[in-house]
Amino acid sequence: CIFTHPLTFTFVQIVFFLLSVWLFYLMAVKEIDKFPALLITAAYLFCPPNLLALCHDHNAESLSPFFIMLAVYLFRKNKAAPYFVSLFFLLLVKENMAFVVAMLGIWGLLARDRNRLVWGVLPLAIACIYFIFVYACIIPFFRGAPYTVWSRYAYLGATKKEIFQSLLKFTTWKKILTNPLNQNFVLSLFSVFLLPALLSPFILMLMLPILGYHILSDFVPEKSLYNVYALSMTPMIFLATVHTLKKFELKGIVLILVCLFLLGGCFVQMHKYRVPLAIKTGFSHYSNDADK
């Protein structure tokens, strides 16, 4: 084997994340002025959910921001061939990326400037076939046992049918949405970007299935920024925020001040998470305190 050093993948995931930052800037500068685009890109770079995920243990999901950004970039450029290549690599990251590909397919179905069969139906079909194949065949084959992800939703029902039936009840959703862990996770994930992101729901819909299975799960680590799970959702939050800034036609000093506020919010949140960030990055003061 080549490149067997334990740090190899750490460098790989950092490089891919930095490439996602570059792609984000290219899209942001098309919608807002150059300096505000730099500020919002800096916010994306220093966003605590991203930093915490990058400092976490090696996980293939850390590659997802680049391929998500690339897919959105190529979708906007209307370049079909490289777009499907990006979807192919996005699917290889992890089985849950099929949800993002499916939502991109819905984008294609709703688009008016392109062939809906190519941009809509085809990605949806690929995502569904891929997910079913990986879920039913690939993962059980390598695990040597059935895929047990459904156990995280066992509180909703003993069988898959009961789980889906439970999700049709208002009382179930009331319990889920009022769960303090869920509320804290969503507020921590969005932070100061909650309002501007929600004002662009068309972009935000890309992360809806991923956010959905996180808040539905009873696996506590999935409801924390401390792990890698938030990294595949932050691209949509920032893309939606930039679209909102464009939609409200903010210009000049007002736009700069808004972007500075958002960047400042990232640094405030970074201060809030300074201890886990310090532990993950190996600063001895907090690491030693944590070991006592």
pLDDT computed for residue 292 by the predictor? 45
Instruction: Provide the sign of the torsion angle of the four alpha carbons 260, 266, 269, 274, taken in this order.
Output: negative
Q: pLDDT tens digits for the chain (292 residues)?
A: 566 776 788 888 889 999 999 999 999 999 999 999 999 999 999 999 998 888 866 778 889 999 999 999 999 999 999 999 999 999 999 999 999 999 999 999 999 889 999 999 999 999 999 999 998 888 888 877 777 777 889 889 888 889 999 999 999 999 999 999 999 999 999 999 999 999 999 999 999 999 999 999 998 888 888 888 889 999 999 999 999 999 999 999 999 999 999 999 999 999 999 888 887 776 655 445 544 4
Buried b / exposed e along 242-257 (16+ C-beta atoms within 10 A): bbbbeeeebeeeebbe
What confidence score (pLDDT) does residue 290 get? 45
- Say what the pLDDT of residue 274 is: 87
pLDDT at 256: 97
Which amino acid makes up residue 47? C
Cα of first residue to Cα of last residue in the chain, in angstroms, is 39
